Structure 1
Amino acid sequence: MEGIEYIYDKHGRIKGVIVPPELWEKVREKIFEPSKYRGIYKGRKDLKKSLRELRDEWERDF
């Protein structure tokens, strides 16, 4: 792809990539953003903590 630059280490392995801003914006649109799908948890700052609390509500010793 035009405009993409690769950064190599001394062994020839790719260590990084420089991506033009226009391409990054296109790619970023396709990245999954959980905040769009959290529903009632949308306003929570710590989603992992909220999910742990939810899990604790359903775990029972029968």
Structure 2
Amino acid sequence: MEGIEYIYDEHGKVKGVIIPPELWEKIKAEFFEPSKYRGIYRGRKDLEKSLRELREEWERGF
């Protein structure tokens, strides 16, 4: 791929990779998509509100 640079150690093993920012943004967007990891809250529009409501169910005021 264009613009990717590899960093090698003294034994010829790859120790790191330098990639262009544009490629990193594309990879990062595909790598982590929080909505995939929300379970039952996946379709919720306002996750923060849903979490507050869940918390209120467990607060009992003892």
Q: Where does structure 2 lack aligned partners over 5 or more consecutive residues?
A: 4-20
Structure 1 segments, 4+ long, off by >6 Å, are none
Aligned to 2:54: 54
Paired positions, count: 45
Deviation per CA, 1:23-57: give whole Å up to 9, x if none.
321233334x3211111111110000000000000
Identify if the C-alpha distance between structure 1 residues 27 and 38 changes in structure 2 by more than 3 Å, giving closer, same or farther: closer
- Decide which structure has the larger Cα Rg and report it: 2
TM-score by length of 2: 0.55
Aligned pairs for 1:23-62 (under 5 A) are 23-31=24-32, 33-62=33-62
Q: Percent identity?
A: 63
Matched letter for residue 26 of structure 2: E
Aligned to 2:12: none
TM-score by length of 1: 0.55
